[in-house]
Amino acid sequence: MYSDKVMDHFNNPRNVGVIADADGVGEVGNPVCGDIMKITIKVADDTVSDIKFQTLGCGAAIATSSVITEMARGMSIEDAVGITKARIAEELDGLPPAKMHCSILAADGLKAAVDDYLVKNGREPISGGPEHSDDDEHEVTCATPIIL
């Protein structure tokens, strides 16, 4: 059901935690399945210099949170908000259709953190809003929540 990369990021998540003096914080959740993600970032010269996450959710939610932190570190904030659900799923060698909402949540969490950073610094958000759409074609299902 899950790729080896998904299982690796679930069993060995990278960048777990919270940056205490974060420049931006993004908190997102899915009320249907109960997944909750918090992404914190440090920004230097408009580049994501550090990033951490906390996720309450299924294995796919943890894996997508973990992989987006690896993808975004070192990227410009403009490039980071361009990370899409498709890129996240591709980086994980795919996700089951019923778990694609987890990649949407991870992308939205990063976008929210970048927007928070920008607003705190008197700048306009650049994310273009959340990627999630209420008319997603896939069924949303999650396993028993796991706290990291």
Tens of pLDDT along the chain (148 residues)? 899 999 999 999 999 999 999 999 999 998 777 889 999 999 999 999 999 999 999 999 999 999 999 999 999 999 999 999 999 999 999 999 999 989 999 999 999 999 999 999 999 998 665 554 433 433 444 443 333 3
DSSP assignment of 44-61, as one string? ETTEEEEEEEEEEE-HHH
User: Which SS3 state, helix, strand or coil, does residue 138 take?
Assistant: coil
Reported as half-sphere exposure (CB side, CA atoms, 13 A), residue 36 has a value of 8
- Residues serving a catalytic function are 33, 102
Q: Which residues pair with 36 in a beta bridge?
A: 29, 56
Q: What is the pTM of this model?
A: 0.85
Extract the tokens encoding 128: 């273009």
- Topology (CATH) of 4-147: Sufe protein. Chain: A (3.90.1010)
Q: How far is CA 67 from CA 52, 85, 122, in A?
A: 11, 11, 29
